[in-house]
Structure 1
Amino acid sequence: MELQLAIDLITTEEAIELVKEVEPYIDVVEIGTPVVINEGLSSVNKMKTAFPNLKVLADLKIMDAGGYEVMKAAEAGADIVTVLGATDDETIKGALEEAKKNGKQLLVDMINVKDFEQRAKEIDQLGVDYICVHTGYDRQAVGENAFGQLETIKRVVKNAKTAIAGGIKKDTLAEVVKLNPDHVIVGGGITGESDKAAVAADMHKLITQNV
């Protein structure tokens, strides 16, 4: 089980300083969509240069031109790139082909997918690396979480690794860990805490105890 730190609402330089605090406790650092929008893929390159031993995920949420966008993320140093499960199979196939060509991984984000179980089965057959359940900020604000969807993909996904994102905190992590995802993505549950290193260390301990 891996721990991914999602960074969304700060600059790349601030993000690098933050990651220095928690580097021993995380496996992947995510350059979130807002950072890419604000600063471009150079943010991915700067993070990978600063932390060559960490995997860097570029959260592009690709909806079209999958091959091209994965190519550009790979050139910037991304190890993992995200594509939306709500897009069509051709976009996912193009993204996956380019990822494999460059020795990268593809994570399919299932945010707002309607026929969730059926779509998860379809995407699993395409050969992607990760399928991720994700409750976005706006749905978190009305009290939703992705725990039920995680149970679903753990049941129906046979090939891809499983991941979960959206509103996970230290006090809810144990519930997530019981469902045994391969990949746990935490944003504000670490970045919003005053002692980020201590919280990340506690989360890392809980995850590694359950591997």
Structure 2
Amino acid sequence: MKLQLALDLVNIPEAKEVVAEVEAYIDIVEIGTPVVINEGLRAVKEIKAAFPHLQVLADLKVMDAAGYEVMKASEAGADIVTILGVAEDVTIQGAVEEARKRGASILVDMIGVKHIEQRARELDAFGVDYICVHTGYDLQAVGRNSFDDLQTIKRVVRHAKTAVAGGIKLETLPDVIKCAPDLIIVGGGITGAADRAAVAAQMQQLIQEGCAV
């Protein structure tokens, strides 16, 4: 299991400050969609340059023109690029093809997907690298989480790695770890903490303990 830090509500200097605090405890840093909207792919480029030992994910949530967008994200230094599971099949296949050319990975975000099990099987066959169940902010507000969906995709995928995102905090992390995803994505659970480094360290310790079981 790996820990990914999601940065959503920061500018580039703030992002660098947060990552510097927790870099010893995370595996991947995510340049979230709001940051990309506000700062562009320059945010990906600057974070990768500042922290070359970390993988950087560009949360573009690609919906169309995937080959071009994956190419541009990769050129900026992204190791992983996100595409939406509700995108057209040919779009997802184009993203995978371009990523293979560039040594990058594709993470499919299942937000908004209605038939999780069926779509997960299809995505697995397309050769995507990660399939991520994701409870967005709006559904978190009404008490939803991703645990059931994570169990579903773990049951059906054979090749892709699994990931989970959406409202994960230190107190809920043990339940996530029990589901054994390959990638755990945490945003405000770290960035909103009074001592971000301490929380990230505790999370990484719990993950390592979970991997050892």
Which TM-score band applies after superposition, normalised by the shorter structure?
over 0.9
* Shift of residue 33, structure 1, vs aligned partner: 0.2
- Asked if 1:198 is matched to 2:205, the reply is no
**Structure-1-length-normalised TM-score:** 0.99
Aligned to 1:187: 187
Could you list the structure 1 runs, at least 4 aligned residues long, displaced by more than 6 angstroms after superposition: none
* Shift of residue 209, structure 1, vs aligned partner: 1.0
Secondary structure (helix, strand or coil) at the match of 1:159 reads coil
CA distance in 1, matches of 2:209, 2:72: 37
Q: CA offsets per residue over residues 105-136 of structure 1, 9 Å max, x none?
A: 00000001011110111111001100000000
Count, aligned residues: 211
Q: CA offsets per residue over residues 66-107 of structure 1, 9 Å max, x none?
A: 100000000000000000000111000111111010000000
* Shift of residue 210, structure 1, vs aligned partner: 1.4
- Asked if 1:22 is matched to 2:22, the reply is yes
CA distance in 1, matches of 2:139, 2:157: 24
Aligned ranges for residues 67-78 of structure 1 at < 5 Å?
Answer: 67-78=67-78
CA distance in 2, matches of 1:125, 1:97: 13
Q: Which runs of 5+ in 2 are unaligned?
A: none
- CA RMSD in angstroms comes to 0.4
Q: Which runs of 5+ in 1 are unaligned?
A: none
For residue 67 of structure 2, what is the amino acid of its counterpart? G
- Asked if 1:156 is matched to 2:156, the reply is yes
Q: CA offsets per residue over residues 32-67 of structure 1, 9 Å max, x none?
A: 000000010000000000000000000000000010
CA distance in 1, matches of 2:104, 2:162: 17
Aligned ranges for residues 122-133 of structure 1 at < 5 Å?
Answer: 122-133=122-133
CA distance in 2, matches of 1:45, 1:135: 27
**Structure-2-length-normalised TM-score:** 0.98
Aligned ranges for residues 1-211 of structure 1 at < 5 Å?
Answer: 1-211=1-211
Secondary structure (helix, strand or coil) at the match of 1:96 reads helix
CA distance in 2, matches of 1:42, 1:20: 18
For residue 210 of structure 1, what is the amino acid of its counterpart? G
Determine what percentage of the aligned residue pairs are the same residue: 67
CA distance in 2, matches of 1:12, 1:170: 26
* Shift of residue 154, structure 1, vs aligned partner: 0.7
CA distance in 1, matches of 2:10, 2:181: 28
Secondary structure (helix, strand or coil) at the match of 1:69 reads helix
* Shift of residue 16, structure 1, vs aligned partner: 0.4
For residue 56 of structure 1, what is the amino acid of its counterpart? V
CA distance in 2, matches of 1:119, 1:102: 25
